Amino acid sequence: MEFPKSDQDIGFTSRQVTHSITEAATVPALIENAGDDTKRRYVEFFAASVRNKNTRRAYLRAIDRFCSWMEGRGITRLADIEPTMIAFYIEEMQDGYSKASVKQNLAAIRMMFDYFVTGGLMRHNPSLSVKGPKLTIVKGKTPALQPIDARLLLDSISTDTVGGLRDKALISLMLFTFARIGAAVAMNVEDVYQNGRRYWVRLKEKGGREHTLPLNHHAEEAMIAYLDGANLWGQNGTPLFRSLDRKRNLSENRMAAEYSRWMIKRRARKAGLGDQFNNHSCRASGITAYMMAGGTLEKAQQMAAHASSKTTNLYNRSSDAVTLDEVERILI
């Protein structure tokens, strides 16, 4: 199958979404065999229902894996898929994948079949009665820095160059606002603005939600130094965090999220903090420092723009400091 060449052919306006789908996967034979209406609905499912590009890639892989499994067992028509078959597939997945991965795969399968049902292509969703594995996460796996190490990271960044000013401003923003890397690098210059005597930031979170909050004075200092050093004041409508050109000067291009992740790991290694620190660690470190200073989970949730306090608490490592203090009591 060839994907539609124009926005009009598929009924939506995002060329970026279409490109993301076409470069990530081919249409499984199960979908091909179902006809043009199902193929079109398949493309629309990923374009219209799955807006986050990382989730879209994961769901594409999940659906491709599921269809390949079915095809390998002689199933060539969507209408022939029964709940017991999906249950066997999920059961088999648990032997080689984590519970979280299995649940994500089942979620992708359910959503796709739901989209086919609502489009009038199937009479019922065969995955609705299939239960995934029970998964209870009390504590997240994201490594977090203790406040003293987070300060060491910031202090280790030389601000003699515009690249150093940029990196310190970005890491400070993420540590003190709990911002996601995607939301941070998506900021434009006007998303840092003065409100009274202090500066605030405007972040675009998942689902298109706009999230505003004031900058901690350390983050404000780093941000102003970057805007001054890069001469970015007044350049509204242009990227705040930009890539560097070959001469190590700021370019006109937005800093890519992937490069930002690599930069954060590189800065952490250079500060002597090991290889485990990543962009999620900035969020976890900020939330941990806030909770250790007496902050509340409710306020941390608001600052992180999480829909649930349970998600926020996964980033909280304040109990780790207690554990470290206790093990240091062991004198041998």
Average pLDDT rounded to a whole number, residues 155-169: 95
| Per-residue pLDDT band at 207 (split at 50, 70, 90) | low
- Are the C-beta atoms of 304 and 287 separated by less than 8 Å? yes
Weakest mean pLDDT among 73-82, 92-101, 162-171, 297-306 = 297-306
Average pLDDT rounded to a whole number, residues 168-194: 92
Whether 36 has a pLDDT exceeding 50, the answer reads yes
Give the pLDDT score at 163. Answer: 95
Average pLDDT rounded to a whole number, residues 122-151: 77
Give the H/E segment covering residue 220. Answer: helix 217-229
Give the pLDDT score at 214. Answer: 86
Q: What mean pLDDT, rounded, does the chain reach?
A: 82
* C-alpha span between 107 and 128 (Å, rounded): 10
Q: What's the pLDDT tens digit per position in 86-127?
A: 999 999 998 888 888 898 999 999 999 999 999 999 999 999
* C-alpha span between 298 and 275 (Å, rounded): 31
The conformation of residue 329, written as its DSSP 8-state character, comes to T
| Per-residue pLDDT band at 329 (split at 50, 70, 90) | low
- Are the C-beta atoms of 42 and 122 separated by less than 8 Å? no
DSSP SS3 for 204: strand
Q: What's the pLDDT tens digit per position in 241-291?
A: 999 999 889 999 999 988 999 999 999 999 998 888 888 888 888 887 887
Whether 68 has a pLDDT exceeding 80, the answer reads yes
The proportion of the chain whose per-residue pLDDT surpasses 70, expressed as a percent, equals: 80
- Torsion region of 73: left, alpha or beta (phi above 0 gives left; psi -120 to 50 gives alpha): alpha
Residue 115 corresponds to which tokens in the numbers above?
Answer: 């989209």
Say how many residues make up the chain.
Answer: 332
DSSP SS3 for 27: coil
Q: How far is CA 27 from the centre of its chain?
A: 25
Q: What's the pLDDT tens digit per position in 295-316?
A: 777 777 777 666 666 666 555 5
Strand 210-214 to strand 198-204: parallel, antiparallel, or no bridges (unpaired)?
A: antiparallel
pTM across the whole model: 0.58
* C-alpha span between 151 and 215 (Å, rounded): 16
Per-residue three-class SS string for 102-139: HHHHHHHHHHHHHHHHHCCCCCCCCCCCCCCCCCCCCC
Weakest mean pLDDT among 57-61, 137-141, 150-154 = 137-141
Q: Can you state the percent helix, strand and coil of the chain, rounding each to 5?
A: 55, 10, 35
DSSP SS3 for 51: coil
Give the pLDDT score at 18. Answer: 46
Average pLDDT rounded to a whole number, residues 139-150: 74
DSSP SS3 for 185: helix
Q: What's the pLDDT tens digit per position in 180-192?
A: 888 899 999 999 9
Residue 255: C-alpha distances to residues 55, 136, 166, 167, 315 (Å): 21, 36, 10, 11, 25
